[in-house]
A and B are shown apart, each in its own frame.
Chain A
Amino acid sequence: MSAQKPAQQDEDPLEMLVGGLSVWVGKLNEIVRKVVDETPIRNIINWGRIYSMWPVNITTACCSAEFGAASGARHDLERFGVLPIGSLRQSDLIVVEGTVTKKMAKRLRMIYDQMAIPRYVIAMGDCAISGGLFHDSYSIVNGAHEFMPVDVYVPGCPPRPEALEQAIIMLQEKIRHSKVYSQG
């Protein structure tokens, strides 16, 4: 690297320029964050997030039967904007449905890490809250909060679809009152 540098004086203005620009971009980032979080722009962005929460297509355990029923015809989750979409990068919600085994916990964490910010977690069912019916089993993790941050807990074994709908509404309330850049 140093052998290819023609002369130290020629590089300095470029480095200064790049260094100066990055400082300006950093300041601009801070200004944007401040502006967005203290003006009605925050409400618009949150409104967009609330009404199009797309969960990851993952069915962890038996609560998935009620998640399926909730997405079905009678209790339609799509009217809240919840639509299971295939790609991880386009999802912002992960619903941990039911028991999390140790084998699955590693993969769930990988999935959570692959999702783009902002991302939210709903722990559905007693098993995702504390281990539930299988709390003394040798192969499960007692609760989703052991390895992921959880936003909403939905008790029940399994919770009724109406309970899941209330969870979605609670999560929407939570997002509505939170800052846009709260997750980075």
Chain B
Amino acid sequence: MTILKKSLTVAAMEAAQSPESGPQTLTVSVGPQHSGSGHMRLIVELDGDVIVKVAPDPGYVHRGIEKICEVRNIIKNIPVIERPAIIDSSNLNHAYILAIEELQGVEPPLRAKYLRSLLNEMNRIMSHLYWLSIFGVFVGHTTMFMWPLGDRELFIDLAEQLTGARITHSYIVPGGVRRDLPQGFAEEAVKRTEYFEKRLKEYDKIFFDNPLFSSRSKGVGILPREDAIALGCTGPTLRGSGVDADLRKDEPYGAYSKLDFEVPTRDEADSFSRAYVRMDEMRESCKLIRQIVKEIPAGPIRRKAPIVLPRGEAYSRVESARGECSFYMIGEGGDKPYRVRIITGSYRNMAAIPAVLKGGHLADIRTPWLTLWNSVVRRDR
């Protein structure tokens, strides 16, 4: 066992050595079993306490989804596609179905688009709350672990009423959605979102206004605007660095072109701003959910679509909770795709990990890293 351990870690660490490393730097392996955003290893080179270089070592959850998608029929791929981001599954599902519908030339009915956006917004809140709870406990605030998870159950109940499942909904299919709104859903949704907005103020009081947290995150892990753009960052990472890019406004899909909301952005580009952008996004999502249940038009929820992927290429993207998730699909006729290429928000944000952590202290490694919310499952696919 010790021989095995040595060969794996020493080889990887030697491979990650940089020109700056010398006798005074120490290479440390953080992970894969650690308290962080899932198991990924960071190979960190330290000069004293200061981080000189970081090389991420991903791949511990690589399941080969792109290969599996090529051998399954397009409907059977839906659960496989959802699994990379299980807490935000309907956004990935939506992107996949948008690509298929583009190739098939099918346009879903308007009511279906509203329902898709409704589930997307609920998933956005669920995903941000999960992030907030993990962030809270790993910064050391155990109340912040319990409260968001408890409030997240409110929205999981709503999702269960709508789709039948807690987190793996498989709700969006080519041509529309599977089920319609149950009775009494609109009143429940309004009640819960209003209660939740009050709770968000309490989160501010105990966590974001807490000097213990703000001293650990303000000014820590700066990602300047130009670097964020050049590295291809997306989602709250990008919006926390001052770029107001959000696909729901830039390239509207679903029902977003008909809904009224804002894109929260912050200019400070540090960990606090990346974290607070997500709080603002949750407030906007509550507003969106209320708008959708009020303005949803009547009509059918599904149009007939064949289980065939015609020849052609399509590139579709959605704004998921962690950033832009894009699908590049190539069909060749038949019911199986020829190629499914998935690039998720976390995969793009992985490029920012070395930039954000460099120059900081080892003890500060968690805050900026977690504000990137580099969910390993989503990244490794």
Contact = CB atoms under 8 A, between A and B. Distances in A.
- A and B, direct touch (CB closer than 8 Å): yes
Interface of A: 56-62, 64-66, 68-69, 71-74, 86, 88, 99, 101, 103-104, 106-107, 110-111, 113, 133-134, 136-140, 157-158, 160
The 3 A-B residue pairs whose C-beta atoms are closest, nearest first, are A72-B149, A73-B150, A62-B86
A87 B80 CA distance: 34
Contacts of A134: 63-65, 68, 80
A118 to B, nearest CB: 20
A161 B209 CA distance: 32
Interface of B: 1, 4-5, 8, 32-35, 38-39, 59-65, 67-68, 71, 79-80, 83-84, 86-87, 130, 133-134, 145-147, 149-153, 156, 166-168, 377
Given A69-B153, A72-B153, A139-B64, A106 B39 contact: no
19 contacts: A57-B34, A62-B84, A65-B86, A65-B130, A68-B134, A71-B149, A72-B152, A73-B146, A73-B147, A74-B150, A104-B32, A106-B8, A107-B32, A107-B39, A110-B5, A133-B79, A137-B65, A137-B68, A157-B79
Contacts of A59: 38-39
Given A68-B130, A104-B32, A158-B168, A73 B60 contact: no
A61 B377 contact: yes
Contact of B64 (A74, A86, A107, A138): A138
B35 A103 contact: no
Contacts of A113: 1
Contact of B153 (A60, A74, A111, A157): A74
A133 B62 contact: no
A158 B33 contact: no
A158 B153 contact: no
Most chain A Cβ neighbours within 10 Å, of B34, B84, B167: B167
Contacts of B146: 72-73
Nearest to B156: A69
Contacts of A136: 68, 71
A59 to B, nearest CB: 5
Contact of A60 (B39, B84, B87): B39
B167 A158 contact: yes
B3 to A, nearest CB: 12
Given A60-B39, A69-B153, A101-B61, 12 more contacts: A56-B33, A57-B35, A71-B149, A72-B146, A74-B150, A101-B60, A104-B60, A106-B8, A110-B1, A134-B63, A136-B68, A138-B67
